[in-house]
Amino acid sequence: MRSFILILLSSNMFSLLEIEIIKGSDNLSKVAFVPFGIEENLDENYGLQISTQIEKNMLLFGEFENLDKAEMLSFPSSEEDFYYRDWKIMGVDYSVIGKINSINMLGNLNISYSLFNINRRIKILEGEIIGRENNIEGIAKIISNRIYEKITGLKGIFDTKLAYIVNSDAETFQMCISDIDGKNEQILFTSAAPIMSPDWSPDRKKIAYVSFENGLAEIFIQDLASGERESIQALGMTNSAPVWSPDGKSLALVVSFSGNPDIFSYSINNKRLVRLTNHYGIDTEPSWSPDSKKIIFTSDRSGSPQLYEINTQSKRKKRLTRDGNYNARGRYFPDGKSIFFVHGNDGNFQIATKKLSSRFIETLTSTSLDESPTISPNGNIIIYATKDGSKGYLGGITLDGKSRFSLPVKNGSVREPAWSP
Amino acid sequence: MNKILISLNTFALILLFLSFTFSIFSITTLKVDEIQPIKVNFFELIDIAEPPNRVSVVKPKENINEADLIKTQESNGVKNASGLEKYKINKPDIKKELSKIKLSKEREAIIKISAIIQDKISSVWIKPNSLSKILVAKVLINLAPSGEVLNFEMVEPSKNIVFDESVLIAINKMSFFEEVLGLERKLFESNFRNFKLVFKSSGEIE
């Protein structure tokens, strides 16, 4: 009997209550962006400009909350003046401080910065950067990327760009690119005929898109530095939906011979076209997997638009979606394990995601006419085109659904965003 | 002298053998749920945390203990019996039934406090976004009877730095679980003096 009691006790000694926590808070991390300090005899504005710019970047996609400067109890610029309690009391999770140490004869600023984790009471990042005084925005982007990376574990995206089509009136179509915050917009090409499907080359030096300027859908590759355009003139009646392979050597595209669109791979160097699908149904909207081994595409071969995947070597195909009667414009996540696409349901078209290992899809957006989703290179944010009445604008959402935002309104309808690598 | 020692040894060995055999037989008659480590999972907590009127329209009272019942049925090897059958008094042993009721009441109290702790932690845990990986980190919490967090230690990290850091930040924000104050001391000591928080990035099973 005694041995039995011992067994019972010993088993109880190691059995601890376990409480599972799966749901996280809907709150955002609160970050204090303290105006950067300056050494004597330097322009005061630099300090405020750089911290304000970092703050703007970090708040761009609604992923963080900030502490208003008026509420700050102190303005430390070095670790010696930094007191955790000043920030803990304001509910701050992270504080960014910094200092402009010097400026040399060439106008180069020497800036140091630090990031503190208030709850853990530790400094988690410190760095020094040298940059030109007329490039405060560029310096702020580099610092913002490092801070973002340290807090989220994801690659910073503040130096990325966005390509999109602006349709200012019925007869003006513009192929544009801008910084991800909407600044420094450049018009690459203007046409009276529709422009569609922009896609960035992996090195960010070129953009491929479809233009109807010669009456039929034709694919052009435009060099961003020189502005030169080149038509790829693949065979067939129409060429559309170009997408660069991750190695930059090929384009996946749609070629229509006698009105039947199929997916092809086009080698840019030797201009060779390789057929990937051959079906009497419409096959369109191809996109490469990150390892270049597979291509996702939309096909109505089952009677309604659904997503399929084809292995570019074995040509083996696999149906990926079965929910509802409209799933189109599929793209892989940067890790290749999930896809995002447009899911249609009762006349509503929303952005949805699906893990390839799972049967279930998850709808992300709540607007009803969403199209052309594009994902940030770090896989955390999706920007898509949607409509307010007849005017198109760009909306965005973080994958955890905590933040929804819309990008600054342009003069005209904005469509088909493409996030640069 | 030696003979006496040998016979004493033999006697002791026989006794040991008998007690061992007896303990093996007694284990099989034990209710597993009396010694099983308690794991309060997310879904069980949701049952408790959700307003009861959501489900009670159809099944009054039955719902709360459903998870318990299923567990007990499985551990007894009774797969097809309905949940309520467990509570039918078939045996004359009233004492046993009373202790069962006490156990289930204790378990209910533990689950209720666990639900509050879970809510509190959930409200401060800013979960990093990780769509493709399922991560798990376990933290051992050491409480004073006043509910004060005396100590905590990440006993099983997920090895994803950002995920583990988010967990540590959340626990750093908690200094008290005063809900344990109302608990019987015995229950506190056996369940909440030391307990584990299991943080999961997703409810899915990989």
Question: What is the full DSSP assignment across A64-95?
Answer: EEE--GGG-S----SGGG--HHHHHTTT-SEE
Facing A3 at nearest CB: one of B19, B162, B198: B19
Give me the mean pLDDT over the A362-383 stretch.
91
Is A161-419 a CATH 3.30.465.10 domain? no
**Residues in chain B within 8 Å Cβ distance of A398:** 129
- Which of B38, B112, B116, B129 has the highest number of chain A CBs within 10 A, making it the mutation to test binding with A? B129
Q: Which residue has the higher pLDDT, B66 or B24?
A: B24
Q: Hey, are the CB atoms on A153 and B128 less than 8 Å from each other?
A: yes
Whether A9 has a pLDDT exceeding 80, the answer reads no
Facing B127 at nearest CB: one of A3, A18, A24: A24
Task: Look at residue B66 in the predicted model and tell me its pLDDT.
Answer: 44
- Which of B131, B138, B197, B205 has the highest number of chain A CBs within 10 A, making it the mutation to test binding with A? B131
pLDDT digits (tens, 9 = 90+) for A271-295: 899 999 999 999 999 999 999 999 9
**CATH for the stretch B128-201:** 3.30.1150.10
pLDDT digits (tens, 9 = 90+) for A66-91: 999 999 999 999 999 999 999 999 99
Whether B56 has a pLDDT exceeding 80, the answer reads no
Give me the mean pLDDT over the A334-357 stretch.
92
Task: Look at residue B89 in the predicted model and tell me its pLDDT.
Answer: 53
Confirm if A33 and A98 have CB atoms less than 8 A apart. no
Task: Look at residue B23 in the predicted model and tell me its pLDDT.
Answer: 55
User: Of A388, A384, A419, A421, whose CA–CA distance to A405 is shortest?
Assistant: A384
> Whole-angstrom Cα distance, residue A334 to residue A139?
27
Q: Which residue has the higher pLDDT, A168 or A179?
A: A179
Task: Look at residue B102 in the predicted model and tell me its pLDDT.
Answer: 74
**Mean pLDDT computed over every residue of chain A:** 91
The question of ipTM being above 0.90 is answered as no
pLDDT digits (tens, 9 = 90+) for A189-240: 999 999 999 999 999 999 999 999 998 899 999 999 999 999 987 666 788 9
Task: Look at residue B104 in the predicted model and tell me its pLDDT.
Answer: 79
Q: Which residue has the higher pLDDT, B92 or A40?
A: A40
The 8-class DSSP code of residue A34 comes to P
Whether A187 has a pLDDT exceeding 80, the answer reads yes
Work out the pLDDT band at B65, boundaries 50, 70, 90.
very low
Whether A360 has a pLDDT exceeding 60, the answer reads yes
CA atoms within 13 A of residue A33's CA, in its CB half-sphere: 22
Inter-chain Cβ pairs, chain A and chain B, closer than 8 A:
134
> Whole-angstrom Cα distance, residue A117 to residue A142?
20
Q: Hey, are the CB atoms on A15 and B36 less than 8 Å from each other?
A: yes
**Residues in chain A within 8 Å Cβ distance of B20:** 3
Confirm if A81 and A19 have CB atoms less than 8 A apart. no
Whether B74 has a pLDDT exceeding 70, the answer reads no
Task: Write the secondary structure of B16-85 as one string of H (helix), E (strand) and C (coil).
Answer: HHHHHHHHHHHHHHCCHHHHCCCEECHHHHHHHHCCCHHHHCCCCCCCCCHHHHHHHHHHHCCCCCCHHH
Whether B64 has a pLDDT exceeding 50, the answer reads no
Give me the mean pLDDT over the A138-157 stretch.
96
> Whole-angstrom Cα distance, residue B11 to residue A10?
26
Whether B151 has a pLDDT exceeding 60, the answer reads yes
Work out the pLDDT band at A57, boundaries 50, 70, 90.
very high
Q: Where in chain B is the domain with CATH 3.30.1150.10?
A: 128-201
pLDDT digits (tens, 9 = 90+) for B96-121: 777 777 777 888 888 899 999 999 99
Task: Look at residue A103 in the predicted model and tell me its pLDDT.
Answer: 86
Work out the pLDDT band at A258, boundaries 50, 70, 90.
confident
Whether B27 has a pLDDT exceeding 90, the answer reads no
Task: Look at residue A11 in the predicted model and tell me its pLDDT.
Answer: 39
> Whole-angstrom Cα distance, residue A206 to residue A189?
13
Distance from CA of A99 to the nearest CA of B (A): 27
Is A29-152 a CATH 3.40.50.10070 domain? yes
- Which of A7, A11, A20 has the highest number of chain B CBs within 10 A, making it the mutation to test binding with B? A20
Low-confidence winner among A198-207, A260-269, B138-147, B176-185 (lowest mean pLDDT): B176-185
Residues in chain A: 421
**Residues in chain B within 8 Å Cβ distance of A153:** 128, 160-163
Q: Which residue shows structure tokens 């060779």?
A: A272
> Whole-angstrom Cα distance, residue A363 to residue A321?
13
Q: Is B205 on the interface with A (CB under 8 A)?
A: no
Interface of B with A in 138-197 (CB under 8 A): 138, 140, 160-163, 165, 168-169, 172-173, 190-192, 194-197
Q: Where are the domains of chain A?
A: 29-152, 161-419
